[in-house]
Structure formats: C-alpha cells, structure tokens
Amino acid sequence: MSNLRIMKSIINISDLHKSYENIEAVRGISFHVNEGEMFGLVGPDGAGKTTTIRIMCSLLGFDSGSVKIMGKGIRLNKKLVQQSIGYLSQKYSMYGDLSIDENIEFFAEIHDVRDYKERRNKLLEFTRLINFRDRLADQLSGGMKQKLALACALIHKPKILFLDEPTTGVDPVSRRDFWKILSGLLKDGITIIMTTPYLDEAERCNRVAMMNHGQLIALDTPANIKAGIEKDIVEIVCTPVKEAFELIRNKTSFEVQMFGDRIDVVLNNSRLDYLTVELLLNNNGVKIVSHRNITPSLENVFIHKIKEAG
C-alpha cells in the first residue's frame, strides 16, 4: 500500500479581481490551498493580502473571478462558508470590558454553539490562558490578546482558519508561543491560511504565495522558491555599511540588499563577480570585515523578484 498522501484542495481561487474605485487591489490571481496545509500570503503593505483573505472569508465582495471554499462558490453559499471558517483579523476585536471566559462565551453564542464549556476549557489549556480566564481583555498583554482572539476563532471548530498578520506587534516570546499553537492545530487537521509581512515566518508554511501590487510573483514551497533564484548571494559585513550599499548600487550592475549591519549582493558568479565588488569597496575606503556565500532567504528572493519586475 502506498504511503503517499493524496492532496485534496479545500480552497480554489481563479482569476480573482477586486478594485476600489480606480485602484486595482487584486489583479487576476489564481491559486488553490490543500486540505490540512499551512498556506502563506506574503508581501508588503498594499500588496493585496488582506483584501484577498477578506474575500475568502466572505467579508468582502469581488469584481470577477471564482472563489470556492470546500467546493462551494462563496457568493451563493456565504452563510455555509462562514460557519466552516475561523477568522483572526488585523484589528483586535475582543471586548475589553469582558473577561476571557465571557469573550469566548460571546463568540460561541454568535456561532450557535450551545454546549461550549468543555470546548472553552480545552482551548484555554491549549493557549495557556486557563489561569487568566477571569481577567478582563483590556488587561491582557499583546500576546495574550492574540491567543484570546485565536480561542474565540476556534470555539465553533472551524475546518479552515484565516489569520491576517497574527503576530504583528507581538513580542518575540509570544510569537514563538503562537507558532507552537499553530503547529498543534495543523496536527489536528485544520487548514491554515495566513498573511504575514515576516518572511522568516513564511518559511514555516507548506507553500507560499508572494504578492506585490495585487499580483502573484511566486507560488511554491519555500525551498523551491529559494532554489529558483539561480543566483549567488554573498553576505558582506563592512563599515560604513550605508556607503558600501550606495557604491554597489550606483557603480555596478549588481543587485544589492541592506539588512542592518550587513549587505547581501546578488551575483551571477560569486567567484568572479565578488572580486569586482571587493575592489570597488577597497578603493573607496570601505573596510570589509568578512564575506561569505549564503543560501538565499525568502527575503532575498522577494526583493530580487520585485526588482526584476521593475
């Protein structure tokens, strides 16, 4: 018997378009999401990520194209779709004058979940909020608020969970806890679709769709996207770094990216091309502390693809 898992799509989007007056927010994108996978939509502000996720949640209409959730077109099956999904938006939507318990109870009643107490206890244990259940939502930290919002989104046992930049503004420890919780949800078979501006987070997804100006510029596993750049990336630690960045950008044809105290240079052949970069920096008073070839990151690839597209 084969151990291969048959992938079944749970979301199908085809040639989706959405405009706000004269602004095209989504420009003919197509993709599918497999059941039980974590699918990431990544890109800068204004790329169309939130618009796309709100359309999938039936919270926003669209101009043309097709959106099917579990085989059902969302225009004719809005209520059925919304009963099967959970949604955690960018905007915190809990009630500050209600306790953790009361917020979850409120969302259970919205979804017509009557016998919710056992489910609530499990979610509080799962999110490690059980000891704070009587605390008002307004008195929670940023990370705890996100965990509460997640518990509220899960109280009705959705098949699909939509997360719109769930860890933005959350401290690193809470971000790590949040990802542990998501890993547990995947083991339970929930499909997760998330948007994130953090490309290191996108590395955790099964597949990633990179968006820019309402269009998809890449769609694959993180490993395949990184392998597709077919360039050498050389990381240079030098001082002064800003002057080095400007020199390479203005005096060579090489693509250069700056990350804090280092620069990454995208080269066709690092063995030959690096000598040109080294000579340029040395002749202009830039001290090279170290350099090394690195494996391309999703951030490297994303910046490269944007620049490649002009």
Cα separation, 240 vs 223, whole angstroms: 33
Domain shared by 152 and 79, yes or no:
yes
Average pLDDT for residues 186-193, to the nearest whole number?
A: 92
Cα separation, 242 vs 309, whole angstroms: 25
Domain tally for the chain?
A: 2
Domain shared by 67 and 88, yes or no:
yes
Q: Which domain covers residue 23, as residue numbers?
A: 9-226
| pLDDT beyond 90 at 92 | no
pLDDT attached to residue 5: 54
pLDDT attached to residue 89: 86
Domain shared by 264 and 168, yes or no:
no
Cα separation, 299 vs 308, whole angstroms: 14
Question: Do residues 264 and 249 make contact, with C-beta atoms less than 8 angstroms apart?
Answer: no
**Whole-number average pLDDT of the chain:** 91
pLDDT attached to residue 4: 44
Q: Are strands 232-239 and 262-267 parallel, antiparallel or unpaired?
A: antiparallel
pLDDT attached to residue 39: 97
Question: Do residues 183 and 161 make contact, with C-beta atoms less than 8 angstroms apart?
Answer: no
Express each pLDDT in 150-159 by its tens digit: 999 999 999 9
Domain shared by 248 and 149, yes or no:
no
Cα separation, 288 vs 245, whole angstroms: 12
**294 beta partners:** 233
| pLDDT beyond 50 at 1 | no
Q: Is 111 exposed, middle or buried (0-12, 13-18, 19+ CB in 10 A)?
A: middle
Q: Which amino acid is at 43?
A: G
pLDDT attached to residue 172: 84
- Residue 284 DSSP class: T
Domain shared by 167 and 31, yes or no:
yes
Domain shared by 292 and 215, yes or no:
no
User: Does any domain span residue 4?
Assistant: no
**Using N-to-C axis directions, what is the helix angle for 172-187 and 142-154, rounded to 10°?**
20
Cα separation, 141 vs 145, whole angstroms: 6
CATH number at residue 304: 3.30.70.100
**66 beta partners:** 14
pLDDT attached to residue 3: 46
| pLDDT beyond 80 at 6 | no
From residue 219, give the alpha-carbon distance in Å to each of 28, 31, 184, 272, 302.
14, 8, 25, 31, 11
Q: Are strands 255-259 and 85-88 parallel, antiparallel or unpaired?
A: unpaired
Residue 310: band (very low, low, confident or very high) from pLDDT cuts 50, 70, 90: low
Token pair for 69: 């959730």
Domain shared by 122 and 221, yes or no:
yes
pLDDT attached to residue 2: 41
Express each pLDDT in 134-180 by its tens digit: 999 999 988 899 899 999 999 999 999 999 988 887 788 888 888 88
| pLDDT beyond 80 at 245 | yes
Domain shared by 28 and 152, yes or no:
yes
Express each pLDDT in 45-75 by its tens digit: 889 999 999 999 999 999 999 999 999 999 9
What is 195-237 written as a DSSP string?
A: EES-HHHHTTSSEEEEEETTEEEEEE-HHHHHHTT-SEEEEEE
Q: Which amino acid is at 262?
A: R
Cα separation, 29 vs 199, whole angstroms: 20
Cα separation, 147 vs 135, whole angstroms: 13
Average pLDDT for residues 20-46, to the nearest whole number?
A: 94
Instruction: Give residues with Cβ within 8 angstroms of 61, minimum separation 6.
Output: 18, 55
- Of 208, 226, 244, the one marking the end of a domain is 226
Cα separation, 35 vs 33, whole angstroms: 7
pLDDT attached to residue 95: 86
- Of 226, 259, 276, the one marking the end of a domain is 226
